[in-house]
Structure 1
Amino acid sequence: MHALLLLTCSLLATAPMPRFPQGTARMDVGSAPHGLPDWGVQRCAGCHPAQVDSWRHSGHATARTDDVFQVALTEDRPGWCVQCHAPLARNLERGPLPAGSPPEEHGVTCAGCHAPLAEAKATPGMPCAGCHQFGFPVLDGAGQRVRLSSTGWQQDTVGEWTRWRQQSGDTRHCTACHMRGGDHGLGGTRRTESLKAALVVEPAPGQLRVSTRDVGHAFPTGDVMRWVSVEVADEPLFEAPRTVATFGRRLEVRAWPPEPLPHLGAVEDTRLVPGEVRRVALPPGARYARIVYHLVSREQEDSGLYPAGLSRLVLWAAALPSRPPSKERKP
């Protein structure tokens, strides 16, 4: 664990962290290119219409106004959450945005990835570490955030990907999968077809073999509330499904030395890792199985705030092969 922290901290130390200050502050970007007066999306679209059109259909464009996020925001701290999901926003209040709010209030815009910092002249590449690698919030006795933990990662996507690259020797960058051909739609959890393509399910009598394809990080990754369930049912509509396995993280508030203040952290991690084949035993008599990707925690789903169709994505479903008849021993 100590070596892992040193590796990830070293990675973060070299990343342009001020570009995306992990929700602790609003981004401060430099001047727009080519003498343009600002970094407005419409100005970018003047020269890059195809890229902006793809972005408009991405999860980044609606990272703040997305329905799942809006429900989560009713139970969380709006300032920190909004400054991650809309890093150039000025309105940090929870709830619907006023009519006519600019794209910067709705999500992550062009400047979030491409603008130089302050008055720097160079425009660095997309700083994935700033967005997808950060610790759990550490709170004081009054419930105020004092820092982000360095002993537990709320999101560890960049660390997962870095370890995979070192182990596999693969030299691809995040953009090789998430921006194929320069696609600014970016893929991820708001594109169900990308998740389906990443999952490999091999049914066999009495079990499922589950793995991932061309995924260089844990599955699921990113938001710590995401998890995957393997469910069985007696009928194809899954009106009464039974969960037989889960892939995700279990969280607790506890001490995490050397951090002096207790905070939320992961005490168990059952997510799929690259190259792993997970064998899931199925109960006798199960006729159908499916795999469901959950965008929010089980507790949040049980709260009734999220309609099932909003927070659950069915990635795979099929009738199960029948078990071979058992051979009876002759007397």
Structure 2
Amino acid sequence: MSTHPTQARAPRRLWWALSALAAVACTGPGQPTPVSGTSAGSASGDGAAPVWQVRGPGGLAAIEPGTRDSALLSAQACSDCHEAQHRDWAQSRHALAWTNGIFQSEYRRKPRRWCVHCHAPLAPQVDEVEAEADGGALAEQGVSCAACHVRAGRILARSHHPDSPHDTQVAADFGGPSFCADCHQFSFPVFALDGHAERSTDFPMQATVSQFLAARRAGKVPWPAEATGPAEARDCRTCHARGEAGHAYQGAHEPAMLERALATSVCRDDQVIVVTVENRGAGHNVPTGDIHRHLVVRVWRSTAPEHLFEAFLGRRFEPDPSGGKRTTWDSTLAPAERRRYRVPVADLGGEPDEPVAIEARYVYVLDEHPRRSPGEPTYRVLYERRAPIEELSPCAP
């Protein structure tokens, strides 16, 4: 499958002009229209909203835990009995949801409450941010234990251990795809003049969960070897619930997850370099999630940078007359999809015997080389090689 003809060799000035359309207020919270195909009904099966669903779609409101008791809201308090789960969580992006440099660099430019609703989603956390721009001890916990496990002042879980001291609400669909969709599936918002999000549009901003559900229905999810049970019963946790106690919830910031998800291969077809990028291990599109994320493939010779070949795998956006933004172009990789780029060596310029540089990167931000560093990596290298054309392996027939 070849790339879109207008994207194969976009000059850098065009690339940046198009990329600028992707800029939005923050790195992305919320939840959209309800996700079909999830186990979203109540545990009793009466068709009511799930017990954990305490806010409407779109992340327009905070999550109300129904308590202000620090014994239930503090992740540190949870660690007294749940040490392994706390260790997992503490090294996850959930724990860093509010404090990570990429989010904070975006949020400081446009500090909108809508962003807080998924990066420090509990109502008491939002109150801290309203009182103090940088938040407080509770906000700094990001997506904490309570963000998932506390509703109506009770512990929420899939089951209740007989030795547990907690007043527990059991929900069979807790932690399923529709639960994850509360922050990982949502539409573009429309902001009022005062900066608050007044409604959601019909245009998806993040569609990670619906992408996964479509792939699961089509039998295209590349489940990890350790996956058990029928495919229709597997969910987001099957791939993402990692760590000692299954609470690390790793994603694109974890090198091992990227290595599992993406494969980059290079070969030579006579005097043409062929670069193939494949989504071999993710059950949703790659990249997914934050709208700034993209892949970039580059082929060049050092003495002729003006002949750089550069391909972009991501999304483009434009303002919609009805408010918010909408996607105008999407070259992300669906599960099991591969994208192949053919680069004639003659197009690269330079000397005939000069080595060729080849690189693929996963980029987390709009500009992989920002003027101000967010204090954490803005990209990860997926593949890099520098070699004479003759040293590249011939492509298979």
TM-score range, shorter chain: 0.7 to 0.9
Corresponding position: 1:107 with 2:107: no
Q: Deviations along 1:273-300, whole A, 9 cap, x unmatched? A: 11112101224157121111111124xx
TM-score, normalization by structure 2: 0.68
Distance of aligned partners of 1:20 and 1:113 in 2 relative to their CA distance in 1, 3 Å threshold = farther
1:160 corresponds to which residue? 211
Q: Paired residue for 1:279, among 332, 335, 340?
A: 340
Which of residues 200, 206, 211 is equivalent to 1:148?
200
Contact 2:295 2:314 in 1 (8 A): yes
Secondary structure of 1:189 counterpart: coil
CA deviations on 1:257-281 (whole Å, 9 max, x unpaired) are xxxx232111110001111121012
* 1:122 equivalent in alignment to 2:191: no
2: CA distance between counterparts of 1:312 and 1:86? Answer: 24
Matches of 2:383 and 2:58 in 1, distance apart? 34
- Corresponding residue of 1:249: 315
> Counterpart in 2 of 1:267?
328
1:197 aligns to what? 260
**Partner of residue 86, structure 2:** 52
Q: Residue 147 of structure 1 aligns to which amino acid in structure 2?
A: R
Q: Which AA in structure 1 matches 2:329?
A: E
**1:232 paired to 2:299:** yes
Shift of 1:309: 6.5
Structure 1 equivalent of residue 25 of structure 2: none
Distance 1:303 1:207, change over 3 A: same
Worse-matched range after superposition: 60-69 or 20-29: 20-29
- Whether 1:92 aligns to 2:123 is no
Q: CA deviation at 1:22?
A: 4.6
Give, in angstroms, the shift of residue 102 of structure 1: 1.9
Partner of 2:381: 314
Spell out, residue by residue over 1:128-162, the C-alpha distance to the aligned partner (whole angstroms, 9 max, x if none).
0101011100234666522111x211110000001
With over 3 angstroms needed to count, the CA separation of the structure-2 counterparts of 1:21 and 1:84, relative to structure 1, is farther
* C-alpha separation in 2, matches of 1:45 and 1:308: 28
Q: Compare relative contact order (CA 8 Å, sep 6+) and give the higher one, 1 or 2.
A: 2
Give the counterpart letter for 1:59 in structure 2: R
Q: How far apart, CA to CA, are the structure 2 residues paired with 1:133 and 1:7?
A: 9
Q: Does 1:177 align with 2:239?
A: yes
Per the alignment, in what secondary structure is the counterpart of residue 283 of structure 2? coil
CA distance in 1, matches of 2:312, 2:72: 46
Matched residues in 1 for 2:311 and 2:120: separation? 35
* TM-score, normalization by structure 1: 0.80
- Does residue 25 in structure 1 map to residue 61 in structure 2? yes
List runs of 5+ in structure 1 lacking aligned partners.
256-260, 326-331
Q: CA deviation at 1:222?
A: 0.6
Given the superposition, is the C-alpha separation of residues 91 and 66 from structure 1 closer, same or farther in structure 2, using an over 3 Å criterion?
same
Conserved in 2, the CA contact under 8 Å of 1:26 and 1:83? yes
Give the length in aligned residue pairs. 307
When the two chains are superposed, the root-mean-square deviation of aligned CA atoms in Å is 3.5
* Cα 1:57–1:247 shift into 2, 3 Å: same
- Structure 1 residues 303 and 317, CA gap change in structure 2 (3 angstroms): closer
For structure 2, the 5+ residue unaligned runs are 1-31, 42-49, 157-167, 221-230, 349-354, 393-397
- Quick one: which of 295, 304, 312 aligns to 2:371? 304
On the 8 A contact 2:65/2:146 being kept in 1, the answer is yes
The partner residue of 1:290 within 359, 362, 379 is 359
For 2:102, the equivalent position in structure 1 comes to 68
Closer, same or farther: CA 36–63 of 1 in aligned 2, 3 Å = closer
Matches of 1:22 and 1:305 in 2, distance apart?
30
**Contact conserved, 1:17 with 1:129, CA < 8 A, in 2?**
no
Identity of aligned residues (%): 30
Deviation at 1:77, TM superposition (A): 3.7
CA deviation string 1:182-214 (max 9, x = no partner): 432211122123112211112111111111222
Q: CA separation of 1:265/1:191 partners in 2, compared to 1, >3 Å: closer, same or farther?
A: same
**2:153, 2:109 → 1: CA distance?**
33
The 8 Å contact of residues 86 and 105 in structure 1, kept in 2 or not, is answered as yes
Alignment check: 8 A CA contact 2:128 2:139 kept: no
